[in-house]
Amino acid sequence: MAKMKTGKKLLATIVLMSAAFQFTYAGNGDRAGSAGSTDLLINPWARSSGWANANTAFCRGLESQFMNVAGLSFTKKTELIFSHSMWLAGTGINIESFGFAQNLGAQRGVIGLSVMALNSGKISETTVDQPEGTGNTYQVSNLNIALSYSRAFSKKISGGITVRIITQGLSNVNSTGFAVDAGIMYKTKIGKRKIEGLPDDDQDNLFFGITLKNIGPRMRANGDGLSTQFTSPIFGSLVTVEQRSAEYEMPALMNIGVGYMYRINKSHSLDFAFNFATHSFTYDQWTLGLQYNFKNMLMVRGGYAFEEGIFGNREGATPTMLNAFFGPTGGITFEAPFKKGGTTKIGFDYSFRATYNFGGVHSFGARFTI
């Protein structure tokens, strides 16, 4: 009973925070481009990104760190994930991700740790004096380390929190900060239909999820790259001037998701997902997802993300799109135990996200569950 009350209090807290966020920041396209650390908006995982990020309500396991950390509580024992993404294929940008989750035992919850590293590849260096290039190259790097804790407060309600450490920059300019995510999930059953062979805990078919993401203090860039040297016209000597960068805010957002799992029978199901994302620095976004699941061994999924201006002329429409994505996504998963009847499984994931230009985003993942 006490755990149920705790879960309800957490749900009420997040709902109130979300309402405040909605009235304060929601869907402001005029602020687009004024946030920093926008790599926090990138889903690096191959499985959930194939849904177009629609599965806030019933994501499961370590990938829930990005979608809704409450889903981390469904990790049964140990989970390892590796992922590689070709970001905007053709640009040379790659994203490498690794994650680890561990169930701490009965009623103790689950902890998760993940690392996402974005590398821009080599970029030609140019200066005011040498606009065609100096012959040197540099790289932009972003590192995102997330530590999460999640637990089930009852058979119906689970919640969690994530703390992220963010570092980004060049060799001579960088910034460091942190952000917090919080999420909660609720599941229930509608209808009297019961699937034979499924335990009672797996009969739930309606899911709700809500998250607040990227809540944190402002960040500022620092480093020698912000200094300028010139010869003083008065003293004739070399002078170094330090410039201070302006502070920038995190790309905070709120997700509200609903999911419905239609079980055809014990082996086959169709999963429907809807998510509404309200952003503080761009347009709001609505996403739909559909997945076919065969015994949790073969999963085929697709999704579509819609936002204001997505069907307009990108050259002159008002408003125009504020991101590179066209809308459609898709993905597939193969997962099987190492041996028949065993609990140790290995899975392979792939997803594709369509973009207006470049070659889309391709993500490849591997997961081990013990």
Q: Please give the single-letter amino acid code of residue 242.
A: E
Q: Is the pLDDT of residue 106 over 90?
A: no
User: Which residue, among 177, 321, 173, 323, has the nearest Cα to 248 in the 3D structure?
Assistant: 177
Rounded Cα distance between 32 and 279, Å, is 10
For the chain, how are helix, strand and coil distributed in percent, rounded to 5?
15, 50, 40
Please tell me which residue, 293 or 203, carries the higher pLDDT value: 293
Mean pLDDT of 1-11: 51
Residues 165-195: pLDDT tens digits?
Answer: 999 988 788 899 999 999 999 998 888 788 8
Reported as a pLDDT band with limits 50, 70 and 90, residue 353 is very high
User: Which residue, among 351, 335, 349, 272, has the nearest Cα to 56 in the 3D structure?
Assistant: 272
Q: Give Cβ neighbours of residue 136 (< 8 Å, ≥ 6 apart).
A: 124, 125
Please report which helix (H) or strand (E) contains residue 16, including its range. helix 2-25
Please tell me the predicted confidence (pLDDT) of residue 15. 53
Please tell me the predicted confidence (pLDDT) of residue 159. 93
Reported as a pLDDT band with limits 50, 70 and 90, residue 23 is very low
Reported as a pLDDT band with limits 50, 70 and 90, residue 162 is very high
pTM for the model stands at: 0.85
Q: Is the pLDDT of residue 3 over 80?
A: no
Q: Do residues 329 and 288 touch, judged by C-beta distance below 8 A?
A: no
Q: Do residues 310 and 321 touch, judged by C-beta distance below 8 A?
A: yes
Please tell me the predicted confidence (pLDDT) of residue 124. 85
Please tell me the predicted confidence (pLDDT) of residue 135. 85
Q: Give Cβ neighbours of residue 351 (< 8 Å, ≥ 6 apart).
A: 46, 47, 49, 50, 329, 330, 331, 361, 362, 363
Q: Give Cβ neighbours of residue 276 (< 8 Å, ≥ 6 apart).
A: 255, 256, 257, 284, 285, 286
Q: Is the pLDDT of residue 313 over 70?
A: no
For 98, half-sphere exposure in the C-beta direction (CA atoms, 13 angstrom radius) is 2
Mean pLDDT of 341-345: 80
Please tell me the predicted confidence (pLDDT) of residue 320. 57
Please report which helix (H) or strand (E) contains residue 8, including its range. helix 2-25
Longest dimension (CA), the chain: 89
SS (H, E, C) 237-297: CEEEEECCCCCEECCCEEEEEEEEEEECCCCEEEEEEEEEEEECCCCCEEEEEEEEEECCC
Q: Is the pLDDT of residue 359 over 70?
A: yes
Reported as a pLDDT band with limits 50, 70 and 90, residue 333 is very high
Rounded Cα distance between 239 and 261, Å, is 67
For 55, half-sphere exposure in the C-beta direction (CA atoms, 13 angstrom radius) is 27
Rounded Cα distance between 116 and 304, Å, is 24
Q: Cis peptide leading into 319, omega within 30 of 0?
A: yes
Q: Is the pLDDT of residue 81 over 80?
A: yes
Please tell me the predicted confidence (pLDDT) of residue 173. 85
- Residue-range domains of the chain with CATH: 2-128+136-195+203-369 (2.40.160.40)
- At 37, is the secondary structure helix, strand, or coil? coil
Please tell me the predicted confidence (pLDDT) of residue 312. 59
